[in-house]
C-alpha cells in the first residue's frame, strides 16, 4: 500500500471519528467489552528514565515562551444540517399521514343511519394504566396457550413508564431476560440504554416490551403458533399504554405488529400506522453488536424517532 493511500485512510478515519464525537454518539463506537491480553502476550516496555533534577543557581530564570496554539477550525456540519432538514420534512410528512388516516372514513358494507354513535372513551390515568398492566402481567404469567410455557423460567411482560409516549417492541426474551423477567438486559440491553441516552431518554421515560412473552428454546425464531398465541396480549398491552409512537426493534417485531413479510430495509424507509399510532422500525440492538456498520443507520432512525415523538407530544400538550 502506498504512502498516499495510508495518508488518505488516516485522514478519512480522523474525519469520521470527529463527526461521531461531535454528534455525541458514545454508543456508536462501543463494541462491547474486550478481553484483557494475557501476561504472556503483553510486549515488554522500555524503562522510563528518571527526570533530571534542575541544579539551583543564582542566575535569573528566563520564562519559557508558550508554544503557539493553532486555532481550532470551525466544525464542518453540512451533513448534519442536511439531515436536520430531512428530519423536519419527515416529521411534517408523518403528521400529515396521521391526519389523513384519522380523516379516512371506516368502510362498511351497509351504513346504518339509525345506529347510536359510539361513546367517547376517556383515556386511562397513569395510575389506572399501571394497575391494568399489572393485572394483565399476572394473567400472562400462568399462560399455557403455546408450548413455550414448558421451557420458560418465567414470562417477560414489559417495563417502564406506563404513561410513556414512546414504546419499544422487541422480538422475544433471551436467556438473560428469561432469568430476570425483564426485557432487554445483558449486552443488547446496555446498548439500547446507551442509544436511548444519546437521544435524551432514560429507560424509565419510555416503555419496553416484546412481541413474545416467553423465551423460545436456544433463542430460535418464534414459530407461527407461538406468535399467534401471544399477539392478543401484545395488542391488549398497547391498548392500555396508548403511546404516541411505537418503535419496532428488528424485523420480527415489525412483522408481528404490522402483519407484513417485508424486509427491514424497506420497513425502515417509511412510517407505518397501527391502530392510528405511527410505527417506525430499526435494527435490534443484538444485531448491532454483530454488525456495527448498521449503527449509522440506527442513529439516523432514532433521531427521527425522537423528533416525531416530541412533535406529537407537543400537539397534545
Task: Render pLDDT for 90-147 as a digit per residue (tens, 0 to 9).
Answer: 898 988 888 888 887 655 444 454 555 556 668 899 999 999 999 999 999 999 999 9
Q: Which CATH number does the domain housing residue 206 bear?
A: 3.40.470.10
pTM for this entry: 0.74
pLDDT of 35 reads 39
Residue 84 belongs to a domain: no
pLDDT of 29 reads 54
pLDDT of 1 reads 55
Residue 34 belongs to a domain: no
Residue 93 belongs to a domain: no
pLDDT of 69 reads 46
Contacts of 303 (CB under 8 A, 6+ apart): 83, 87, 199
Task: Render pLDDT for 45-71 as a digit per residue (tens, 0 to 9).
Answer: 455 455 554 554 454 555 555 544 444
Is the torsion defined by CA of 136, 142, 147, 151 positive or negative? positive
Residue 141 belongs to a domain: yes
Give the chain's residues under pLDDT 50: 20-21, 24, 32-45, 48, 53, 56-57, 59, 67-76, 108-111, 113
Residue 243 belongs to a domain: yes
Is residue 195 classed exposed, middle or buried when 0-12, 13-18 and 19+ CB atoms within 10 A define those classes?
buried
Residue 229 belongs to a domain: yes
Question: What residues make up the domain containing 275?
Answer: 126-316
Cell readout for 239 is: 391498548
Residue 121 belongs to a domain: no
Residue 259 belongs to a domain: yes
Per-residue CA distances from 243 to 6, 124, 165, 277 (Å)? 50, 12, 5, 7
The number of folded domains in the chain is 1
CA distance 211 to 173: 9
Amino acid at each position: 500500500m502506498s504512502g498516499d493511500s495510508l495518508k488518505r485512510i488516516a485522514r478519512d478515519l480522523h474525519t469520521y471519528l470527529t463527526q461521531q464525537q461531535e454528534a455525541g454518539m458514545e454508543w456508536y463506537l462501543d463494541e462491547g467489552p474486550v478481553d484483557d491480553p494475557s501476561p504472556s502476550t503483553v510486549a515488554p516496555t522500555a524503562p522510563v528514565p528518571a527526570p533530571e533534577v534542575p541544579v539551583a543557581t543564582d542566575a535569573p530564570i528566563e520564562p519559557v515562551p508558550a508554544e503557539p496554539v493553532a486555532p481550532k477550525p470551525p466544525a464542518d456540519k453540512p451533513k448534519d444540517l442536511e439531515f436536520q432538514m430531512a428530519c423536519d420534512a419527515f416529521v411534517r410528512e408523518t403528521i400529515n399521514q396521521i391526519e389523513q388516516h384519522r380523516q379516512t372514513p371506516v368502510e362498511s358494507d351497509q351504513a346504518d343511519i339509525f345506529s347510536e354513535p359510539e361513546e367517547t372513551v376517556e383515556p386511562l390515568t397513569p395510575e389506572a394504566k399501571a394497575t391494568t398492566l399489572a393485572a394483565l402481567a399476572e394473567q400472562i404469567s400462568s399462560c399455557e396457550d403455546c408450548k413455550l410455557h414448558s421451557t420458560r423460567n418465567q414470562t417477560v411482560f414489559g417495563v417502564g413508564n406506563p404513561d410513556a409516549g414512546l414504546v419499544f417492541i422487541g422480538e422475544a426474551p433471551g436467556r438473560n431476560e428469561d432469568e430476570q423477567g425483564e426485557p432487554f438486559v445483558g449486552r443488547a440491553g446496555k446498548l439500547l440504554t446507551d442509544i436511548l441516552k444519546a437521544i435524551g431518554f432514560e429507560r424509565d421515560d419510555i416503555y419496553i416490551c416484546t412481541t413474545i412473552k416467553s423465551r423460545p428454546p436456544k433463542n430460535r425464531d418464534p414459530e407461527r403458533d407461538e406468535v399467534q398465541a401471544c399477539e392478543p396480549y401484545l395488542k391488549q398491552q398497547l391498548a392500555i399504554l396508548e403511546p404516541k409512537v411505537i418503535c419496532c426493534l428488528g424485523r420480527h417485531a415489525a412483522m408481528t405488529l404490522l402483519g407484513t413479510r417485508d424486509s427491514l430495509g424497506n420497513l425502515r424507509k417509511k412510517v407505518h400506522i397501527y391502530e392510528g399510532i405511527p410505527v417506525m422500525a430499526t435494527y435490534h440492538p443484538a444485531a448491532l453488536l454483530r454488525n456495527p456498520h448498521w449503527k449509522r443507520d440506527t442513529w439516523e432512525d432514532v433521531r427521527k424517532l425522537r423528533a416525531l415523538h416530541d412533535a406529537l407530544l407537543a400537539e397534545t400538550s
